[in-house]
């Protein structure tokens, strides 16, 4: 559980850690139960039968001016978005 906590960047209390452990056990048990379902002869799910994706070629276009891109940014510095650090040293 400590590895999951570290990978997720969490700092859990012992009570929260135990609750997370119980929740993950329930989720894994549910997926195990799904593995037991007989799907022989069941057609794969298709959310939009008969529809195909209408894709277009990627073509470069003009970018927003820097000032306009930063206009609604909560913080900017030196022409860049300023965001809180994700990792501490």
Instruction: Measure the CA–CA gap between 21 and 43, rounded to whole angstroms.
Output: 35
In Å, how far are 11, 12, 34 from 20, measured between CA atoms? 12, 9, 21
Instruction: Measure the CA–CA gap between 54 and 43, rounded to whole angstroms.
Output: 24
Task: Give the start-to-end residue ranges of the domains of the chain.
Answer: 1-36
Average per-residue pLDDT in the chain? 89
Mean pLDDT, residues 55-78? 93
pLDDT classification of 89: cutoffs 50, 70, 90? low
Res 81: pLDDT: 94
- Check whether 20 has a pLDDT greater than 70: yes
């Amino acid at each position: 559980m400590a590895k999951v906590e570290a990978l997720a960047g969490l700092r859990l209390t012992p009570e929260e850690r135990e609750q997370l452990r119980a929740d993950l056990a329930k989720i894994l048990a549910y997926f195990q139960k799904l593995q037991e379902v007989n799907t022989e002869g069941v057609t794969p799910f298709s959310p939009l039968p008969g529809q195909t994706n209408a894709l277009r070629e990627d073509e470069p276009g003009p970018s927003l001016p820097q000032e306009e891109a930063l206009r609604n940014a909560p913080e900017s510095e030196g022409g860049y978005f300023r965001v809180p650090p994700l990792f501490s040293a």
